[in-house]
Amino acid sequence: MSDNRTGTGSGLTLDPVTFEVLKNSFITTVDQMAEQVLRTCYSFVIYNRDFSSALNDANGDSIAQGNQDIAVHVGTLHYTCKDVIRAFKGEMKPGDVFMINDPYAGGTHFNDVRLIRPIFVGDEIIAYSQSNGHWSDVGGSVPGSFDVNAREMFREGIRITPIRIIDQGVLREDVANMIAANTRDPKSVIGDMRAQTEATRVAEREILRLVDKYGKDTVVTGFKEVQDYVEQATRQRIAELPDGSWETVDYIDRDPGQGEGLIPIRVKLTIKGDEATYDFTGSHGCISTLYNSAFGATFSGVVAGMKTYFPDLPLNSGFYRPINVIAPKDSIVDAPWPVAVTGFLMPFEKIMNSIYEIWSDIIPERAIACAFNLEYLLTGGRDTRHEGKPMFMFYDWLPGGWGGRATKDGCNVTTACFGTGLQTQPIEGQERLSPILANEFEILRDSAGPGRFRGGAGVVKTSTLREAEDTVLSYICDRERAIVWGIKGGLPSLPHGLWVKRAETGEKEWLGTIFSDVPIKSGDMFSRPTGGGGGLGDPLERDPAAVMLDVEDDYVSLERAKIDYGVVLKVIDIDLAQYEVDAEATKEARREIAKARRGWLAEDPVDIAARYQKGEINNMDMVRRYAVIVDWGTGELMPKSTEQFRESVKIRTADHWNDNIAEFGEAAE
C-alpha cells in the first residue's frame, strides 16, 4: 500500500489532532444518542438493548455507529438513510424528521424502526442522525409481529416506506396516530417515536457544536476522512492476508412447504489484494416461512461476521467499501418484496457462523466454533389475575453457549451472535407483567458441545402458565436439525426446541423450533433448552483435569465425561465436590471410543432412530455419536436431514480426529 496515512504523504488533509478529536467526537455523539434512548424508551426490546444509532453523511453513508450497537443492525443504517434521501431529496427542511422500517430498502425487519433527522447548516444538509430501535409490536397477525405462517409481508406488520413524521418541528399527529393504530401497543409506539426523535436531536446539537468550533468545512471533511481512514485500515489488514478462496455451507432446519431436508446457505469468500468478496451463489431459493433475508440483512451478516475478526476497527461505511457481496436474486439471502423476512435473524446467524468458520482457517488463533441459535418465545393472552382480564404479552429470549476457541472453552450463557449487547430479562419483572411462573432457569448440564476446548454451556428455562385465558404460544428458533456444530474435530451440542407438558393429561408434547398460535392452558408447563456452543478440537484430547473441573462444577455429568470425553472419574467426596481422574481407565475408555467412533457415524440411521424411540439413547447420543436427525418427539427418522448433517459432521468433525488415540489411549504429542 502506497496510500499510507503517514505525515504529509497521506491522502487525508486534517491535522492529526483535529482528525482524532473529530473521530472520537462522532463516536461520543452516537453514544450519547444511545444513552438517551436507553433511558427514555418504551419498548422493552429496546430497553434490553436491541437498538442502534448512527451518524450518516450527506450521501447517507455511515460516519459512525454506536459502540454498543446490536450486531444485526450493523451495515444497514446507511441503506435506510439513503432511501430517505432518495424519497425526499430537495424537500427537506430544518426541524424535519423522517421515519422508515423497510427491509426491502436495506432495513432488517418491520420491528426495527428508524428515525432520521437531517442536520442543517444554513440551507445545507451536512449530515443525518439516525436512531433505530426494535418496537415491541408493529401489527400483523400475531403479538410481537413474528408470524411463522407468513409467506408474504402482509401478515407481518406495517411497512413504513420513507415518511416525514416531524414537519419543521411539529409532529404529524395524523400520520403518527395512523401508524400507532396499526399496532397492539399504540401508547408505547408514540412514546418510542418521541424518545428516538429526541435522540436524533442530541446528535444534531453535538454536530452543530463541532461546526461552531471547527467550522463547517472542517467537520464535513472529518466526515469523509474518518470513513477513508477506516477504509484504509481495513484494506491494509486484508492486504496482509494471503489471497485465496474459502467456502462453507450452513443450514436452516427446513422449508415447511417442502417436507424434511435442510436448507443450505452457501458462502464463498475470496480474498484478492485488499478486497474481500463474499459469494452466496448456490444458496437456496426463498422458503415458505419468514426465515428469509432481504439483501440489507445479508450484507449486515457479512459485515458483522467479518468485524468480529477486526474488533478494534471503528464501524462506518469505510469498513464496507473493501467488501463485496454477491447474493443470487430471489434467494433466501436476497428475498424481494413481498416475501416474508421478519425471521431474517435465522439466515443472519447462519451467515455469521459461516464467516466465523471461514475466518477460523484464515486467522486460526481467533478460531471459534458455532454458537447456539437465537430463540424467541411469544406468548399472549388474558391475565385473569387482574380485574377486566387485561391482555398480556410475554416475549422471552434466552442466552446459550458460544463455540469453543483455539485457546480456551467457549463462553457459557451468553446472548446470541445476533448481538452480544442484548440482555436477558429479569424473571421477577416478567412474573409481575405476565401470569407465568418460572420453574427453573439454569445452566443445562452437558449442553456444551464436547471438544478439546468445549463449547460454552447453554441453559434450560421451564415455565408454567398460571391464571390466564385465551393464551397462545409461538416460537421462533432453528437448529433443531441443523444442530450447532463443532469444528476441527469438536462435537455438536444438542437440538434446540420446545416441549409442552399438558396439565390435563400429563403428556409431554414436542413442538420443536418453529410454530405459531399453539393454545396453552393454566397449569401447562413449557420448557426450552438452548444449545451449548460447538466444541473445537478432538474431545479425546481434552485435558482430563479440565473435564474433572467441569464435573466438579456440574457443567458436565460423570456419565457424559466418560461418553463424550472418555474420562473416567472416581468420586472422592461428593459433599466436597471432590473427584479423581482414573488415568488407566481413562486411557482405556479413550482407546475404545477412538476405535469405534467412525463406525458409529456409519451405522444405519433406521436402527439408531429405533433405539432412540425405545429410550436406549438420548438426543445427545444421537447428534454427537451417530449424527442422526429425527423428529425429537416421535423419533421418526429424517433421512435427508441426516444425510446432510452427517456430511457436515464428517467435514467439520470426523475428518480432524486423531486415530492414533485408538492405539495409545491418548494423542501423541
Partner 1 sequence: MSNLRVAVDIGGTFTDICIMDEASGKVRVAKTPSTPDDPLEGAMNGLGEAKVDLNDVSLFSHGTTVATNALITRRLPPAAMVCTRGFRDVIEIRRANKEELWDTYKDVAPPYIRRRDRLVVSERIDQAGEVVEALNEDEAREVARVLKKRGVESVAICLMNSYMNPAHEQRLREILVAEMPGADIITSSDTLPEIFEHERFSTTVVNSILSPVIGRYVQRMSEQLKEGGYASDLLLLHSGGGVMTPATAARFAGRLAGSGIAAGAIASRHIAMLCGYENSIGLDMGGTSCDVSLVYGGQSRVTKDWGIEFGHPIRFPSIEVLTIGAGGGSLAWIDDVGALHNGPQSAGADPGPACYGRGNDVPTNTDANVALGRLGTSLAGGNITLDRGAAETAVKTGVAEPLGMSMDDAAKSIVSVANANMADAVRLISISRGYDPRDFALVAFGGAGALHGVALAKELAIPTVIVPPNPGVTSALGCLLVDIRHDLAQSYLKSASEADAGDIEAKFAEMENEARERLEAEGVAAKDMLLQRAIDMMYEGQWRSLTVPVGAPFNSVEEAIEAFHRDHEREYAFRRDDAGVDLFRLNLTAIGVTQKAELQKHEKTGGTPSANTTRMVAFDELDAPVDTPIYQHEDLGAGSTFNGPAIVEQLDSTTVIPPGVRVEVDEWLNIRIYVSEDSK
Determine the Cα angle at 592 with ends 587 and 595, to 5°: 120
* 208 near partner 1 (CB under 8 A): no
Whose Cβ is closer to partner 1: residue 149's or residue 424's? 424
Of the listed pieces 8-16, 247-255, 477-485, 513-521, which binds partner 1 according to CB under 8 A?
8-16
Q: How far is it, in rounded angstroms, from Cα 78 to Cα 90?
A: 19
Name the phi and psi angles at 229, rounded to 5. Answer: -60, -50
**Distance of alpha carbon 477 from alpha carbon 373, whole angstroms:** 7
Give the shortest CB-632-to-partner 1 separation in angstroms. 23
Closer to partner 1 by CB, 164 or 201: give it.
201
Q: Please state the closest distance from residue 577 (CB atom) to partner 1, in A.
A: 4
Q: CA 327 to CA 292: how far, in whole Å?
A: 13
Residues 573 to 592 in contact with partner 1, rule: CB under 8 A: 575-577
Neighbours of 188 (CB within 10 A): 20
Cβ distance to partner 1 smaller for residue 36 or 331: 36
Nearer to partner 1, 60 or 435 (CB): 435
Q: Which residue has the cell 475466518?
A: 359
Q: Is residue 198 a contact point for partner 1 (CB under 8 A)?
A: yes
Dihedrals phi, psi of 659, to nearest 5 degrees: -80, -15
Query: Between 20 and 607, whose beta carbon lies closer to partner 1?
Result: 20
To partner 1, the closest distance from the beta carbon of 403 in angstroms equals: 8
The single residue among 201, 562, 597, 624 that binds partner 1, judged by CB under 8 A, is 201
10: contact with partner 1 by CB under 8 A: yes
- H-state helical runs in 289-446: 295-307, 317-320, 345-362, 427-433
By the 8 A CB rule, do 130 and 115 touch? yes
Phi, psi of 202 (to 5 degrees): -55, -45
From candidates 300, 331, 373, 412, binder to partner 1 by CB under 8 A: 412
By CB under 8 A, is residue 364 in contact with partner 1?
Answer: no
Stretch near partner 1 under the rule CB under 8 A, chosen from 125-133, 422-430, 508-516, 560-568: 422-430
* Window of 1-9, 164-172, 287-295, 596-604 that interacts with partner 1 by CB under 8 A: 1-9
- 486 touching partner 1, by CB under 8 A: no
DSSP state of 396: E
- By CB under 8 A, the residues from 440 to 479 that bind partner 1 are 440-443, 459, 462
The one among 261, 380, 401, 419 contacting partner 1 by CB under 8 A:
419
Task: Provide the 8-state DSSP code for 407.
Answer: S
Rg (CA), the chain: 26
CB of 565 to partner 1, least distance (A): 18
Nearer to partner 1 among residue 461 and residue 542 (C-beta) = 461
Nearer Cβ to partner 1 (65/293): 65
E strand residue ranges, 186-281: 244-252, 263-272, 275-279
Q: For 15, list phi and psi in degrees, rounded to 5.
A: -70, 155
The yes or no reply on residue 281 touching partner 1 (CB under 8 A) is no
Residue 11 or 519: the one with the smaller Cβ distance to partner 1 is: 11
Per CB under 8 A, 384 contacts partner 1: no
Region binding partner 1 by CB under 8 A among candidate stretches 6-14, 166-174, 278-286, 288-296: 6-14
Query: Omega of the bond prior to 450 within 30 degrees of 0, cis?
Result: no
Our finding on whether 266 is near partner 1 (CB under 8 A) is no
Applying the rule CB under 8 A, the residues between 59 and 118 that interact with partner 1 are: 67-69, 71
Give the cell for residue 170: 411539529
- DSSP 3-state of 186: helix
Instruction: Say how far apart CA 157 and CA 138 lie, in whole Å.
Output: 5
Entry field: residues in the chain: 669
Q: How far is the CB of 39 from partner 1 (least distance, A)?
A: 5
Q: What is the edge-to-edge ordering of all strands in the sheet holding 514-520?
A: 391-397, 376-383, 468-476, 514-520
652 lines the binding site for partner 1 (CB under 8 A): no
* Closest approach of partner 1 to the CB of residue 304, in Å: 9
Residues 13-32: x/- map of binding to partner 1 (CB under 8 A)? --xxx-xxx-xxx--x--xx
3-class DSSP state of 36:
helix
Of 431, 517, 603, 643, the one binding partner 1 by CB under 8 A: 431
Question: Does position 40 bind partner 1 by CB under 8 A?
Answer: yes
Contact between 422 and partner 1 per CB under 8 A: yes
Stretch that binds partner 1, among 97-105, 425-433, 447-455, 589-597 (CB under 8 A): 425-433
For residue 266 the three cell numbers come to 452457501
Q: Is 41 a residue that touches partner 1 (CB under 8 A)?
A: yes
- The distance in angstroms from the start CA to the end CA of the chain is 41
Strand partners, 474: 378
By CB under 8 A, what part of segment 303-322 binds partner 1? 307-308, 311
Q: Which of 366, 521, 611, 650 binds partner 1 (CB under 8 A)?
A: 366
From candidates 42, 98, 299, 485, binder to partner 1 by CB under 8 A: 42
Residue 212: exposed, middle, or buried by beta-carbon count in 10 A (0-12, 13-18, 19+)? exposed
- Residues within window 492-511 making contact with partner 1, judged by CB under 8 A: none
Of the candidate residues 86, 154, 187, 606, the single one contacting partner 1 (CB under 8 A): 187
CA 491 vs CA 237, 298, 411, 446, 589: distances in Å = 32, 28, 16, 12, 17
Instruction: Tell me the sheet residues that pair with 443.
Output: 459
Q: Does 437 bind partner 1 (CB under 8 A)?
A: yes
Give the nearer residue to partner 1 in terms of CB position, either 289 or 379.
379
CB-nearer residue toward partner 1: 74 or 105: 74
Cell of residue 202, nine digits = 442530541
Integer Cα distance of 455 and 458 in angstroms: 9
| Cβ distance to partner 1 smaller for residue 419 or 566 | 419
- Least distance (Å) between residue 180 CB and partner 1: 13
6 touches partner 1 (CB under 8 A): yes
Name the phi and psi angles at 618, rounded to 5. Answer: -110, -175
Which is closer to partner 1, CB of 287 or CB of 377?
Answer: 377
Contact status: 557 vs partner 1 (CB under 8 A): no
291 vs 526 by CB, closer to partner 1: 526
Binding region for partner 1 (CB under 8 A) out of 45-53, 280-288, 627-635, 660-668? 45-53
64-99 exposure pattern, b = at least 16 Cβ within 10 A, e = fewer: bbbebbbbbbbbbbbbbbbbbbeebeeebeeebbbb
The amino acid present at 651, given as its one-letter code, is: I
Q: Are 102 and 83 in contact (CB under 8 A)?
A: yes
For position 144 contacting partner 1 by CB under 8 A, the verdict is: no
Q: How far apart are CA 201 and CA 130, in angstroms?
A: 10
Is 572 near partner 1 (CB under 8 A)?
no
Q: Is 215 in the site for partner 1 (CB under 8 A)?
A: no
Phi–psi pair at 642, nearest 5 degrees: -60, -45
